Amino acid sequence: MKKIYMLGVLVICCIPYQVIAGDNATRETIRPAERFGRGMINILSSPLELPAQMYTRAEYYSNTREYMMATIGGFIEGIPMGMLVYFPWRLAAGVYDVFTFPFPACNRCIIDPPYLSFSTKFLEKP
């Protein structure tokens, strides 16, 4: 009975997407199930932003600077960035995706990169 109830809730939540998007849905839109999954992954992985930011900043400064203190400084800089900036930001992006997944107008991801990453590409200036 509980499974049938949950399936009904999921179908009802997906109806607005089908009705509003209709034939106007483009290839760039992400399906509601993908957005819901991305939101859940971002909520669950948000505490891992602390070690991720510590590692990526230390790695970035290690590659761009020639001093050992720059690597240590990047590691230390990752602590407040991971705890005070990226953790709540990834958590909020996940909650946003979970609550707005049936609506096609809320299609874009509000955080870059959309998933937790240990890559330093987002720190490089364009």
Q: How far is the C-alpha of 75 from the C-alpha of 71, rounded, in Å?
A: 6
Indicate the SS3 state at residue 112: coil
Q: How far is the C-alpha of 45 from the C-alpha of 54, rounded, in Å?
A: 15
The one-letter code for the residue type at 82 is G
Q: How far is the C-alpha of 89 from the C-alpha of 16, rounded, in Å?
A: 27
Q: How far is CA 63 from CA 2, 7, 85, 120, 121, in A?
A: 53, 49, 23, 10, 12
Note down the domain range covering 25.
Answer: 2-123
The total number of structural domains in the chain stands at: 1
Q: Kindly report, residue by residue over 34-80, the tens digit of the pLDDT.
A: 999 999 999 999 999 999 999 998 888 888 887 888 888 888 999 99
pTM equals: 0.71
